[in-house]
Structure 1
Amino acid sequence: MQLLNHLEFCNKQCPKLRIRQLDFQSTSQHSEEFMWNTAEKILYLTAMGGQSSQPITASSTCKLLYEPWRQIDWGKKQESLQYVNDYKPFDENQKLRILLCGQCGAGKSSFINSVQSVLRGRMYRQALAANTSGDSFTKKNTTYKIQRERPDKFYPFVFNDIMGLSGIKGVLVDDIKQSLQGHVKDNYKFNTDSKLEEGSEHFNKAPTNNDVVQVLVCVAAADTLSVMSDDVLRKFKEIRKETSQLDVPQIAILTKVDAACPEVKKDLKNVYRCKRLKEMMESFSANTEIPMNSIFLIKNYHEEINLNDDIDSLILNVLTHILNTGEDFVNRKL
């Protein structure tokens, strides 16, 4: 209570701080040490007259745990790569459809490009990605096949990229629900004011098993998670609810972990040692109701021109879980 009172006072005195009470509402979500470390930052900025125009981020309180709380097989990239290369659905005619949704600029398209790069063994860019986190760069419903070593061979899974979420504009939850059910045709340009109607030429009236989504992947940026708007969080919860009603499994990935913690930027292997990133995951889990064991931390390829084994390991780790989750869903439906 004392901390929340101080937070309210600081926000009145220094509106530029932009700290939300949502981030401090429960000590079960955040350790007292983290809360008071952040309070010290608030005190300092208050004394300085609130001159910082940047939100409080993980970089101000990035501490490492003695041991990683989640294990990653850092030295076994080739084994993980072989697992994905050998993956075949139980039904050989079935292609897993993975729908990516998330806040604007979080890295949905970059994740697709990163997966392509890892699997092809070189930097690859198929999905156009934005370099800012403003309005959604992706406007249309787009399916991306993942090419194997030959131009006419593809992996038995595809990614659906759609318009991003935002507070006022952005893709509608109703359109995401219709995408999950396979009703939205490729290249449909999303309307931020009204959902796709059944009578539209872009509405797929008779979706096949390959049109229906088997896994929903929610994407959020770790470096701006603490200032994510309540409207976007509400949309994440609505999407989670609609997806659960359809019995479609969900996975979440938090991107830009290197921008969220300087210790992770120094060494990506610190990603699951970073105390603040773990607390971010716990907070995101509490706000969206996505369980912790379905949330993963990654870094997409962004400024690199060569592949990096540590980046690849994180991407292969989450991709393996996505494929296993999708396969379990398909098998339950048989």
Structure 2
Amino acid sequence: MTDEDSEDNKSNMLRKLNEFMPGSAEVSKLNILIHGPIGSGKSSFVDSVKTALQGHNTTSALADSAAGKSHSFTLKLKIHRVKKDGTFYPFVFTDIMGLEPDESKGVQTEDMIKILHGHIKDGYTFNPVRSIADYDPKYLSNPSLKDKVHCLVSVLPGDKLSLIPEEVIKRMRDVRKKASDLEIPQVVIMTMVDKVCPLVKNLSKIYTSRKVKEKMEECCHRLGVPMNCILPVLNYHEQITNDLNMDLLILMAMTNIIQFANDYVEDQVYAE
């Protein structure tokens, strides 16, 4: 693919995302829940989406770049919107604490399931020893379709995939199972692909890399997500200007996420 073809693809995806509106009047914005282990690149992915859509660096998700961090930087449930020409795109990201092997040191699995149902409001501070109470001011008793999660996004670091404790993977699978029971679509964002394979320094080779494919297969095996729902990306980290191939991967991922989420909303409205 030539640079001109890549630019055309990027322009087409940007145009479609800029023109997108949810397919139901009941839902003004799609809710995308981001979860994954500590250091997987959850907040960096949110910032990278903003960078790709807005055309300049952004750090509003406050990703922590400290080496060897052992605790989550995100302590509250935080809703991130993406600016668009004086308004906002019709989708939001819900960012939560990174998952730890010991549930008493991070977000409770029960809280993640309550988020799926739409029970927990923006700004809730997670309690590592107990789930949110139904009398908490940040608890929504009767959520409607617009409050629920419309797509679950699991973020996993490709280079450290084998090192993620089985306890963390089990918790992610438990949340995935509940999402499946609720018919909520799910994708995996596989980050750090440049550290998986030296060839991927040239991101146009990402889908021809044997090592990247092996890591995608490992994601598929460990988390139980189909291969076509595993989306490799490289988050913005050191770059100070937009990179065409990085933008392409991020925009392809967002195009899939938005389509899955919108299909879910339309199916739920039709089912009613």
Q: Give the TM-score taking structure 1 as reference length.
A: 0.75
- What is the aligned partner in structure 1 of residue 258 from structure 2? 323
> Any idea what SS the aligned residue of 2:146 has?
coil
Q: Contact 2:40–2:157 at 8 Å: present in 1 too? A: yes
Q: Within 5 A, what are the aligned runs for 1:183-332?
A: 183-265=119-201, 267-332=202-267
- What is the aligned partner in structure 1 of residue 14 from structure 2? 81
Letter in structure 2 aligned against 1:91: S
Segments of 4+ moved more than 2 angstroms: 72-75
The offset of 1:209, in angstroms, is 2.5
CA offsets per residue over residues 160-216 of structure 1, 9 Å max, x none? 001111111221211110001111111111111111121222211122332111000
- What is the aligned partner in structure 1 of residue 64 from structure 2? 130
Q: Against the structure 1 CA distance between its residues 74 and 167, is the aligned structure 2 distance closer, same or farther, given a 3 Å change threshold?
A: farther
Q: Within 5 A, what are the aligned runs for 1:55-74?
A: none
Give aligned-pair identity as a percent: 37
Cα distance in 2 between the residues matched to 1:302 and 1:209: 35
Cα distance in 1 between the residues matched to 2:7 and 2:223: 29
CA offsets per residue over residues 221-253 of structure 1, 9 Å max, x none? 111111111111111211111111111111111
Cα distance in 2 between the residues matched to 1:172 and 1:279: 31
Q: Contact 1:74–1:310 at 8 Å: present in 2 too? A: no
- What is the aligned partner in structure 2 of residue 164 from structure 1? 98
Structure 1: 5+ residue stretches without partners: 1-67
- What is the aligned partner in structure 2 of residue 52 from structure 1? none
Cα distance in 2 between the residues matched to 1:124 and 1:288: 30
CA offsets per residue over residues 12-69 of structure 1, 9 Å max, x none? xxxxxxxxxxxxxxxxxxxxxxxxxxxxxxxxxxxxxxxxxxxxxxxxxxxxxxxx9x
The offset of 1:74, in angstroms, is 6.9
The offset of 1:80, in angstroms, is 1.1
Structure 2 residue 42 is matched with structure 1 residue 104: no
Q: Give the TM-score taking structure 2 as reference length.
A: 0.92
- Partner residue of 2:51 out of 107, 114, 117: 117
Cα distance in 2 between the residues matched to 1:253 and 1:230: 19
Count of matched residue positions in the alignment of Structure 1 and Structure 2: 261
The offset of 1:284, in angstroms, is 1.4
Letter in structure 2 aligned against 1:128: L
The offset of 1:102, in angstroms, is 0.5
Letter in structure 2 aligned against 1:115: V
Structure 2: 5+ residue stretches without partners: none
